[in-house]
């Protein structure tokens, strides 16, 4: 059952929330480092060995025939086809608004500065296998990459006897270029380093288990990554205008993800707090993932009573939740006070699952308080920006002395000479 606590006593709960994502053990990290090195040096052979060892599958070719995705889509029930297509349309239309062109700034005298914006060349999408297969995540990751202009999107997923048909259908809809049946830390290593059959990519995105997350973290710098995601979380700010059944249902929608998931209600209403506490207990008992929900609510869930909605907003900013619902009489007004949240859901009819599946913004969001400095996955995640500088002699001339002065202040005499030599002063002449 959800505990009810006063905001003045919330410190211990928040400290536990911050610590809920356990540090990777040294043994796990060493195991992953060994896999990374093995794939880096052994290539495809190492991948086949790990696939046999971990997945109990012998593969001669990792590539899945492209027609398998079209066949998977065709085999879905029409209602599911329509739902996936509608979601894809909303995701695409939203992310198309994010795309920004470069710019050029003319400064006179033949001087131009600007910025060029291009999509990354190759991106890897990691898609978990088994019960953690989410076609929505395929759409939410691949479509922004395609809108950004990524040349090739390569999806990796663990090999199983029957790959998830909805995931393959989502890959078909989103336009995945290649699908490779390899999973785990070894798949991340293959994408980062490249092998005989798997190309090296510029960025890897997508969720995975602790080995996948650790591999991504260790390889950051060799390759870009989206983020190292923690357990899912939802925070709801609600006043007396909220419906306790709606609020309870929304809290449970995230608690069912994982025993480490966190569901929090911040409210000014003791009446609502008591009603939501009762409703979450009733609903949880009837849901398919009741055991997970119960553990999540017990260990990382809470209803926090605050003195004012302003206090609720201040606490939400401190938490910096992945998902923040504002279920108040004036949600837009309160949202102006929110600085830290992955995604904000306004009003009584904007439940978090709307964002997970259909609204359009990518549901890959910063977790564990990282919304203080990270942003959701977006078109920007798949773009690289290059500065462009073009100066004529008459444009460089009036700046030359200032550049030399600054270079000499930093004791970078070669910098200074690079400019002065263009105007008749070679600072290296007679130095030997």
Q: Of 233, 244, 279, 322, which residue is the catalytic one?
A: 322
Tell me phi and psi for residue 308, to 5 degrees.
Answer: -150, 165
What is the full DSSP assignment across 386-429? EEEEE--HHHHHHHHHHHHHHHHHTT-HHHHHHHHGGGT--TTT
Asked about 322 being catalytic, the answer comes back as yes
Task: Using CA atoms of 106, 107, 109, 115 in order, give the dihedral in degrees to the nearest 10.
Answer: -50
Of 249, 342, 214, 234, nearest to 17 by C-alpha is 234
Question: Which residues in 11-156 belong to E strands, given as ranges?
Answer: 103-108, 111-119, 122-126, 152-156
Asked about 332 being catalytic, the answer comes back as no
Cα–Cα distance for residue pair 302/265, rounded to 1 Å: 6
Q: Of 323, 325, 352, 363, which residue is the catalytic one?
A: 323
Task: Using CA atoms of 148, 152, 153, 154 in order, give the dihedral in degrees to the nearest 10.
Answer: -160
| Chain position carrying tokens 């003195």 | 307
Q: Which two tokens stand for residue 205?
A: 């995105």
What is the full DSSP assignment across 141-181? HHHHHHHHT-SEEEEE----SS--HHHHHHHHHHT-SEEE-
Q: Which two tokens stand for residue 163?
A: 């790959």
Say if CB 326 and CB 345 are below 8 A apart: yes
* Angle ∠(327,331,334) on CA atoms, nearest 5: 115
Q: Which amino acids are annotated catalytic? A: 322-323
């Amino acid at each position: 059952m959800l505990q009810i606590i006063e905001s003045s006593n919330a410190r211990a709960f928040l400290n536990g929330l911050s610590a809920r994502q356990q540090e990777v053990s040294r043994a796990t990290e060493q195991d992953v480092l060994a896999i990374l090195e093995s794939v880096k040096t052994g290539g495809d052979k190492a991948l086949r060995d790990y696939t046999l060892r971990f997945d109990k599958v012998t593969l001669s070719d990792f590539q899945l025939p492209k027609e398998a995705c079209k066949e998977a889509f065709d085999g879905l029930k029409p209602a599911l086809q329509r739902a996936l297509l509608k979601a894809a349309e909303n995701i695409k239309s939203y992310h198309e608004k994010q795309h920004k062109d470069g710019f050029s700034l003319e400064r006179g005298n033949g001087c131009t500065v600007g910025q060029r914006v291009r999509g990354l060349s190759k991106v890897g999408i990691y898609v978990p296998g088994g019960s953690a297969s989410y076609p929505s995540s395929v759409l939410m990751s691949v479509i922004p990459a395609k809108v950004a202009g990524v040349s090739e999107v390569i999806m990796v997923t663990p090999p199983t006897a029957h790959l998830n048909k909805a995931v393959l259908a989502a890959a078909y809809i989103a336009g995945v270029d290649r699908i490779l049946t390899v999973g785990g830390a070894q798949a991340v290593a293959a994408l980062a380093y490249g092998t005989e059959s798997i190309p090296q990519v510029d960025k890897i995105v997508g969720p995975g288990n602790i080995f996948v997350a650790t591999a991504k973290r260790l390889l950051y710098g060799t390759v870009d990554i989206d983020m190292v995601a923690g357990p899912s979380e939802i925070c709801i700010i609600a006043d007396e205008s909220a419906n306790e059944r709606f609020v309870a249902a929304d809290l449970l929608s995230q608690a069912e993800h994982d025993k480490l998931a966190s569901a929090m209600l911040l409210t000014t209403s003791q009446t609502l707090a008591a009603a939501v506490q009762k409703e979450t207990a009733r609903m949880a008992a009837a849901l398919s993932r009741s055991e997970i929900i119960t553990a999540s609510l017990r260990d990382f869930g809470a209803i926090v009573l605050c003195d004012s909605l302003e206090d609720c907003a201040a606490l939400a900013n401190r938490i910096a939740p992945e998902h923040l619902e504002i279920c108040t009489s004036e949600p837009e007004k309160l949202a102006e006070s929110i600085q830290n949240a992955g995604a904000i859901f306004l009003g009584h009819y904007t439940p978090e699952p709307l964002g997970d599946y259909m609204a359009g913004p990518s549901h890959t969001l910063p977790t564990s308080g990282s919304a203080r400095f990270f942003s959701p996955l977006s078109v920007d995640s798949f773009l690289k920006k290059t500065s462009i500088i073009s100066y004529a002699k008459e444009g460089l001339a009036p700046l030359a002395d200032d550049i030399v002065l600054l270079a000499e202040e930093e004791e970078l005499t070669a910098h200074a000479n690079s400019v002065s030599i263009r105007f008749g002063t070679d600072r290296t002449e007679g130095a030997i």
